[in-house]
Amino acid sequence: MALTIFDLDNTLLAGDSDYLWGQYLVDKKIVDAHEYERQNQRFYREYREGSLDILEFLFFSLKPLADYSQEQLHAWRQDFLDTIIRPIITRDAVSLVEKHRRCGDTLLVITATNRFVTEPIVECFGIENLLATEPERDHSGYTGRVTGVPCFQKGKVIRLNEWLEKTGHHLQDATFYSDSHNDLPLLNAIEHPIAVDPDHKLRAHAIASGWPVISLRGRGYLEKL
């Protein structure tokens, strides 16, 4: 079975769940609205530019997980999933996943966004394998820190290689779908890289390299799955 890998934000989703989770916290007044929104926008801009300090961002973005109970966090996350995320799941994204599932491919999502935010989103697609940035936990809940290698840029390659060694899968005939130039380290390591609604840097690289460029935003959005 071939391995098919999907980025999540702005690839399977028509938006960025990491950024949108931050805005959700702002809108619900869970965090200091003015300062948190300013920082959230700065980090998102740096991500798009390719200058993001991932550890600085994770120190910022994971802190709210340590400030509230697991029960409260999961209630907010469910509301976030229902009101913010489901409306940005497109029919074309679902169809693409189902096409690869019918082919018998092993499906994997690999994302820089943390597992707390992304795990239920990936479940919406029926994809069992997820590599994400891992928030640290102790006996009482989340600590606000990251554990292991962040699943970002070259970190995605490291985390994927660890997963391959653990699971026995391989990259022969593998496909990777992504929108971001931040994923070039992994795109360049895959036999079949595909740019999805790519940013300007990735689009230019994909065209120069002869990679397919596709869009998953042409057939509207799903109201629910």
Which pLDDT does position 221 carry in this prediction?
Answer: 53
Instruction: Tell me which residue of 159, 149, 156, 158 sits closest to 178, measured CA to CA.
Output: 156
Q: What is the pLDDT of residues 188-213, one digit of tens each?
A: 999 999 999 999 999 999 999 999 99
- Check: CB of residue 179 under 8 Å from CB of residue 197: yes
Specify the amino acid at residue 208. A
Nearest to 112 by CA among 207, 191, 168, 179: 179
Q: How many CA atoms lie within 13 A of 187 on its CB side?
A: 24
How do residues 36-61 score in pLDDT, each as one tens digit? Answer: 999 999 999 999 999 999 999 999 99
CB contact at 8 A, 206 and 198: yes
Residue 102 half-sphere exposure toward CB, CA atoms < 13 A: 6
pLDDT at site 224: 40
User: Whole-prediction pTM value?
Assistant: 0.95
Q: Mean pLDDT across the stretch 141-158? A: 97
pLDDT band at 225 (very low <50, low <70, confident <90, very high): very low
Look at 9-18, 26-35, 101-110 and tell me which has the smallest mean pLDDT.
26-35
What structural domains and CATH numbers belong to the chain?
Answer: 3-214 (3.40.50.1000)
Residue for token digits 């805005």?
Answer: 23
Which residues are identified as catalytic?
Answer: 7, 9
- How many CA atoms, within 13 angstroms, populate the side-chain half-sphere of residue 97? 22
| Mean of pLDDT over the chain | 95
The DSSP letter of residue 43 is H
Contacting residues for 141 by C-beta, under 8 A, at least 6 apart: 65, 66, 69, 70
